[in-house]
Amino acid sequence: MTRILEKYRVAALLGVALLVVPVAASSLLGTQAAQAAAPQSFGSVLADGSFAAIVSADKPAVVTITTTLKAENASADGTSPFGGDSPFDQQFRDFFGERQMPVPDQRPSGKAEALGSGFVLTRDGYIVTNNHVIDKASTIKVTLDDGTELPAKLVGADPKSDLAVVKIEPDKPLATIDWGQSDKLRAGDPILAIGNPFGIGTTVTAGIVSARGRDLHSGPYDDFIQIDAPINHGNSGGPLVGIDGKVVGINTAIYSPNGGSVGVGFAIPSDQAQTVVAKLMKDGSIEHGFIGVQIQPVTADVADAIGLAKPAGALVARVDDGTPAAKAGIRSGDVVTALGGKAVTSPRDLSRMVADLSPGEKQGLTVWRDGADKNLTITIGANDGGGGQVLADAGGKSGEAGQRVPTIGVQLGDLTADMRQSLGLPKGENGAVVEGVNPDRPAADAGLQPGDVILSVNQKPVASAREAKTAVAEAGKAGRKAVLLLVQRQDEQTFVTVPFSVG
């Protein structure tokens, strides 16, 4: 669980309301909304303080999506109906596993109904919603604003971005809603959220953009718009619109300590969603790019330790064998600073850039290595769901007497064959084993633990305790404020920066 989730519960509503039934388990609630096709001018819409012109134009394109879930896909026991691949699966379990909605209907049929929101994108019936609204549905039905009910088929869905497209066959052209430009949104701009909270009917709420670029640690596309317009279970898939009446986001998630709206909601930006939706409409699915690295942020201490001018980029903690990254020559300890000519400022940047690329594409990639930029070429691979760009968490008994490294506060020993076996490490693994950590020294504050294996110091591999001690001492003599250690703990590798003691 992330630090955010340790403080708050995130309800994966994300516009979805859960209805519990005794045999069928539970059902989702959410809605969709859209905008009229006729051109409108909302430049002076706030002159009289009313959003009525926007609502009258957009409401006809708001739809309700009803799905039928088989009993095995329902979740009376609190298990997420979104599926294990959903970016909001953990949040759903956290919330609904402890508190569930009242029972409004009894259905002993072994099935459950779920309601969600969305909006009509084209006059011939393409509709946008969240993936978790239609995930694992056996049937999908759309109810238009005028009450017309039509069967829908799934065109395509992408769990990583939590977006989906469904299609209906209307007997007349539909009212639609156009995409807006989310990249122009600023904190403080007014917005409207439209959806069907709790299944009570189409509802409009108003607020402002509270923040941009929120990261909920749910996947490579985390770049949410935070809003204070109330959204609740049932709003998932509904549109977030600006004062020009166009979609600037898709309502997706809330923070909630009690299950209700507390004015902290999240929407997928339209600029991101528009690209994904276009691919789903064309191909029905998306193949996300993959390079095969574990990455973590570049902190100020890391930048200082490796001589980087500023703390930016994505630090490569591990490169998986046989992956595109390994074939391109990327090494553990490299800092990726650019991909395809675009600057990489954070691990999230790199994850999103790679996910947006198609398998087979060749891209130039720049890494910071040994105090200089190095240009590489990488061929993007296909992400089959088993790997990707993973954001690493920052974070024994030896045969001979350990060697003290008083500057950071660890006791090191050589890595023996027996130790490799007991720690579950590969036979050829070399390094220095952490035998003890002084609780009053920097290494303890950095999270080092007995049993950790130090594989490199300041991007230089170390094969023994003596080599590790020497490398740390040299870093201190060079005037570094901290030392960068590559640490193996069980089957995970991560970089840890340890500042030198003062005095």
Which 3 state secondary structure label does DSSP give 299? coil
Paired strand residues for 68: 113, 139
Query: What's the CA gap between 24 and 386, in Å, rounded?
Result: 31
- Contacts of 250 by beta carbon, 8 Å cutoff, 6+ apart: 128, 129, 130, 163, 237, 238, 239, 240, 267, 268, 270, 273
Start-end of H helices in 8-121: 52-58, 89-96
* Cα 439 from chain centre: 34
Contact present, 19 and 27 (Cβ < 8 Å): yes
Catalytic annotation present for 491: no
CA distances to 89, 439, 442, 456 from 445, rounded to whole Å, are: 32, 8, 5, 19
Catalytic residue among 132, 210, 301, 351: 132
Start-end of H helices in 20-170: 52-58, 89-96, 131-134
Instruction: Find, among 93, 165, 83, the residue nearest to 129 by Cα.
Output: 165
Count of residues for the chain? 503
CA distances to 141, 183, 289, 405 from 442, rounded to whole Å, are: 59, 42, 39, 11
Paired strand residues for 447: none
The helix (run of H) or strand (run of E) holding residue 478 is: none
Catalytic annotation present for 233: no
Catalytic annotation present for 236: yes
CA distances to 17, 51, 77, 190, 237 from 92, rounded to whole Å, are: 11, 33, 12, 29, 16
407 is written with which tokens?
């500057």
422 is written with which tokens?
């007991």
DSSP state of 394: P
Query: What's the CA gap between 120 and 63, in Å, rounded?
Result: 7
Catalytic residue among 80, 117, 210, 236: 236
Instruction: Find, among 163, 168, 416, the residue nearest to 268 by Cα.
Output: 163
Contact present, 15 and 130 (Cβ < 8 Å): yes
Q: What is the DSSP string of 200-252?
A: S--EEEEEEEEEEEE--SSSTT--EEEE-S---TT-TTPEEE-TTS-EEEEEE
Q: What is the DSSP string of 462-477?
A: --SHHHHHHHHHHHHH
Query: What is the CA angle 145-151-153, rounded to 5?
Result: 115
Catalytic residue among 94, 135, 162, 334: 162
Contact present, 17 and 232 (Cβ < 8 Å): yes
Active site residues: 132, 162, 236
